[in-house]
Amino acid sequence: MVLMFDKKSENIQEEVYQQLLSMDIAHYEIYIGISEMVNQELDFPKAFDQAEDALALGKQLFSKHGKYVYSYPDMGIYRTFSMLQKEGSLDYYINPKLKKIWNTDEANKDQLIQTLQVFLDEKQRYKNTAAKLHIHWKTVKNRITKITKMTGIQLNRPEEALDIHLSLKLLTFTSEQNI
């Protein structure tokens, strides 16, 4: 089903979903992909592709979180990952230092990866990370120290921290694809 709107709305996702629910189709599981706004008929194929990509990415990454409406502009870095994936292997783009954790025999490697992901998501704040993970901040500090010693990652270098953060998101993206 393709829907077209002649207006730009701040909350188009919610409006679309509420309109569909009012159509007596609530007993169906509905997922919606929304493209960027287009102004010409010539751009419809591009918009359709974007809506399809938003739908595929959204279902893959966010449906388990109770989201059913996915907007292409809101897919953020995952749009780039999807485009890169169409060109070839995404493994090439993952920082080799991060792969040292992934390829280790450590029993708690998933825990280390999760800690590093949350630590970077929380702007490298130990207490915020600890609160999100429901652990003591010193445990976070010990894990981050272990990770930096194991890998040589230097989180005090902004470019490297960004590269690692993007690599972690890419790992999440590729692991979600393999489920």
Taking the model in full, what pTM does it have?
0.67
Report the pLDDT averaged over residues 94-116: 88
- The 10 Å Cβ neighbour count of residue 61 is 19
Q: What stretches of the chain adopt beta strand conformation (E)?
A: 32-34, 69-71
What is the 3-class SS of 77-136, one letter each residue?
HHHHHHHHHHHCCCHHHCCHHHHHHHCCCCCCHHHHHHHHHHHHHCCCCHHHHHHHHCCC
**pLDDT tens for residues 4-41?**
665 665 666 667 666 766 666 556 777 888 888 888 88
Q: Could you say which of 1.10.10.2840, 3.40.50.300, 1.10.10.60, 1.10.3720.10 is the CATH number of the domain covering 91-177?
A: 1.10.10.2840
Where in the chain are the domains? 12-75, 91-177
3-state secondary structure of 49: helix
